[in-house]
Amino acid sequence: MMEIAKLLKVSHAKIYYWFKKYGIARRSRSESSYVKQNVNGNPFNIKSRLTLGERNLLLAGLMLYWAEGSRRNKHVIQIANLDYRMLTLFIKLLRNICGVSEHKVCLTVQLYKRFNETKTRSYWSRTLGIPPRFIAVNVHSDTRSKPNNQWSQYGLCPDRSTQYEIKKLD
């Protein structure tokens, strides 16, 4: 609605009023974001004929998504995992079976403050084959949290990651 208001040079409140007055349905924020990011429609081009290996990859990827995925936002496919092998498998599914374009696969990493952000981005880029510009590193700064043996020097993928997107995958 903000874009409409800007285009028509009226206030956001005026647009909201018109929508309400004339019963115009509004998109949710997630749907609006999805449409804006996918102007050409559905970003998936899922293969219809699969080899046995591709079928196994599909099944493994679906099981991984079922176990580790987030279904809070229906416009983003996300998984959260620390194991690079799981993430590699999921990205392979997105690229090879689902036909997701490279610029749609990105990663968000949660990193404890004592570890190096540059090394973390480099590690995930090298390991998963994702350009560094598609890797966001969020440094964990909660002072109540104490490091333990499970903290990884390369961070972890939080639940809000992927946008096939993987929007952000770990």
Domain ranges, ordered by start, for the chain = 1-37, 48-170
- Per-residue pLDDT, averaged over 129-142, amounts to 85
**pLDDT, position 169:** 38
Residue 102, phi then psi, degrees to nearest 5: -55, -40
For residues 109 and 135, the answer to whether their CB atoms sit within 8 Å is yes
Of 57, 109, 85, which Cα lies nearest the Cα of 118? 109
CB atoms within 10 A of CB 91: 22
- Per-residue pLDDT, averaged over 70-99, amounts to 84
Beta bridge partners of 78: 70
The yes-or-no verdict on residue 129 having pLDDT over 60 is yes
Amino acid at 91: I
Q: Which residue has the higher pLDDT, 110 or 128?
A: 128
Q: Which residue has the higher pLDDT, 163 or 31?
A: 31
Cα(100)–Cα(134) distance, integer angstroms: 14
Beta bridge partners of 112: 140
**pLDDT, position 160:** 38
The yes-or-no verdict on residue 148 having pLDDT over 70 is no
**pLDDT, position 131:** 92
pLDDT band at residue 154 using 50, 70 and 90 as cut-offs: low
Structure tokens at 26: 């509004």
pLDDT digit string (tens) for 96-120? 998 888 888 888 888 887 788 889 8
State how far the alpha carbon of 118 is from the alpha carbons of 41, 55, 95, 115, 121, in Å.
35, 37, 26, 9, 5
Q: Would you give the DSSP letter of residue 161?
A: -
Q: What is the largest CA-CA distance in the chain?
A: 58
